[in-house]
Structure 1
Amino acid sequence: MEHTLFVRSFLELQWSNVLKFFGNDEKLTFVLGTSMVILTSFCVANAFFMFLDFTGMPAFFHKYKIQKDKNVPVETRRFLYCCVVSFRNVLTSCGMIYLFYPLMRAVGMSCTSPLPPAWRVLFEYVVFILVDEFFFYYSHRLLHLPALYKHIHKIHHEWVAPISIAAFCTHPVEHLVSNVLPIFAGPVLVGSHLCVAWVWLIMAHVDTCLHHSNYHLPLLSSPQFHDYHHVKFNENFGANGLLDWFHKTDVGYKKSIQYKRHVTYYQLKPITEIFPDDNGKQN
């Protein structure tokens, strides 16, 4: 009990310092603070992979690549184009926060103390995951309709062997409908405390970049599920597989070696050696 009170007091103090940093200005905390969280989490999540993709170094990590020898390193012109489009979209997300601020306040989102109890945070994160899956699955599947795919979603699928920063290399419409909406909808629907929303945004950005990295690294979230979508195109439309199971858009995937490899593992040996193909090959 004392330990729990200590942790809570510590977190309250840190959040108080965050509010002081923004001059205890609610709008500034919501708008500038959230924008800083979005931009910083995007840059930090991508920094290592951007260096690895652009230079091909350190070569030690190549053994963890899912689609072997593809984009190692990435062609310079293509890489820079991807960076420009992705940063444009992330900056658009930051701009959208200013427009979302009245809505966030209207639904009861707060940045003041006290922080919500642990049970409330856990409940909200379950909601976030389900809401994210709902909006991402159906918006993503909609974008695969021929008319929309040709003019919108094709930009993202040019990366058959994706790189982390390509997570946001999309048409602006897709970015708003399939990237921004699924992530922000949960916190808005339940009127989350801003601190809870920030942690969710960080987790979502890191996970999205990992799932596009094409590197399945030890200890980290597996990118096999979404990487399979980039290769096969017509399966694995969702974020976590729940609606793909419901709609049976994962039938081929569940018969694949990628399905077996879709785990978080805890050894330095590459996942391709732990689960080789049926013919003994690692790719």
Structure 2
Amino acid sequence: MIRNSTFAATGMPVSYTDHFNEIAQYNVQLNLLEKAWAAWYAYMQNDVLATGIMSFVMHELVYFGRALPFIIMDQIPYFQKYKIQAHKMPTLAEQWQCAKLVLLSHFTVELPQIWLFHPTAQYFGMSTSVPFPAWQTMAYQIAIFFVLEDTWHYWFHRALHTPMLYKKIHKLHHQYSAPFGLAAEYASPIETMILAFGAVGVPIVWAAVTQNLHILTMYTWIILRLFQAIDAHSGYEFPWSLHHVLPFWAGADHHDVHHEKFLGNYSSSFRWWDSVLGTEVGSASDKMAKPKKAAMAKAQ
């Protein structure tokens, strides 16, 4: 049983530290992160506001924080050998223009949805309390979300490439034929809502059906999905890229070709839907390997 902060009953203004110390004193069974989590909700005294601020700040820090290393690498000549389309290096002006539209989308399209997330999540049975679930529970649920989101993304992304939907909705995302990390969420509001359902709606449906999902699992899943999306749009193929370890993983090797050719490779995280349904259009690593093989053959 978790004992909550009692400061609210006094009506006196108190700091976050006061709430944390009281919760830590009476809930010694909690770990440090759980105490910090409970103190945040006690300090805010408004669960919708507490979840909304935490969700939005987390999204912005992860999105732009993960894109930043690729922005830096684009300015360093050493990394050009890993760039899939090295002849189309994005300029800082292009990246800033992209960032402005992404920020506009975050504040006008995503922020209202994030603000409604807490009541929606609680209505469908998602937990926001402590203690947190076991890591094993989080791991298998996140694995399921990856598979279900990839399926959703494949079919709706493929639908967005039909002539009418492409022209009216999806064309904006293909403004950059050589993608870069910041462009992961460079899209029209309609596309953002359609494809975002795979990332947000799938866990909510899971919570409604199973009544077994914690918001921390949701946050961890969203962070991993953001990493995947930004990496897939990074335009970089490294010797340590994940698909070299997991052959069914997609990533930039898979998605960069989609932006270059404007078709095929519709999946988000995995390659199996494209492979089974004949929409695989090759990989960037194969394309990059051909000149190397030709040079080796010429040298022999």
Q: What residue number does 2:272 align with?
A: 242
- Among the aligned pairs, what percent are the same residue? 25
Q: What residue number does 2:166 align with?
A: 149
Q: Higher Cα Rg: structure 1 or 2?
A: 2
Give the deviation of 1:128 after TM superposition.
0.6
TM-score of the aligned structures, taking structure 2 as reference length: 0.76
Cα distance between partner residues in 2 of 1:243 and 1:11? 42
Which of residues 67, 87, 91 is equivalent to 1:46?
Answer: 67
Cα distance between partner residues in 2 of 1:10 and 1:148? 53
Give the deviation of 1:10 after TM superposition.
9.4
* Equivalent residue letter for 1:230: H
Which of residues 111, 136, 155 is equivalent to 1:119?
Answer: 136
**2:243 is equivalent to residue 227 of structure 1:** no
Larger relative contact order (C-alpha < 8 A, sep ≥ 6)? 1
Cα distance between partner residues in 1 of 2:285 and 2:278? 15
The SS at the match of 1:279 is helix
Q: What residue number does 1:165 align with?
A: 182
**2:87 is equivalent to residue 69 of structure 1:** yes
2:265–2:274 contact (8 Å) kept in structure 1: yes
Give the deviation of 1:59 after TM superposition.
1.6
2:181–2:230 contact (8 Å) kept in structure 1: yes
2:49–2:115 contact (8 Å) kept in structure 1: no
Q: What residue number does 1:4 align with?
A: none
1:19–1:29 contact (8 Å) kept in structure 2: no
Q: What residue number does 2:216 align with?
A: 195
Runs of 4+ that moved beyond 6 A: none
The SS at the match of 2:78 is helix
Cα distance between partner residues in 2 of 1:165 and 1:29? 27
Q: What residue number does 1:264 align with?
A: none
**Cα deviation 1:43-93 (Å, max 9, x = unaligned):** 11112223444xxx222111110112212x4262x3332111111223332
- In structure 2, the CA distance between the partners of 1:11 and 1:151, relative to structure 1 (3 Å rule), is farther
**Cα deviation 1:128-184 (Å, max 9, x = unaligned):** 111211221111111111111112111111211111111111111111112x21111
Where structure 1 has 5 or more consecutive residues not aligned to the other structure, the ranges are 1-8, 262-271
TM-score of the aligned structures, taking structure 1 as reference length: 0.80
**C-alpha RMSD of the superposition:** 2.4
Where structure 2 has 5 or more consecutive residues not aligned to the other structure, the ranges are 1-27, 208-212, 243-250
Cα distance between partner residues in 2 of 1:204 and 1:120? 18
1:127–1:186 contact (8 Å) kept in structure 2: no
- In structure 2, the CA distance between the partners of 1:276 and 1:15, relative to structure 1 (3 Å rule), is farther
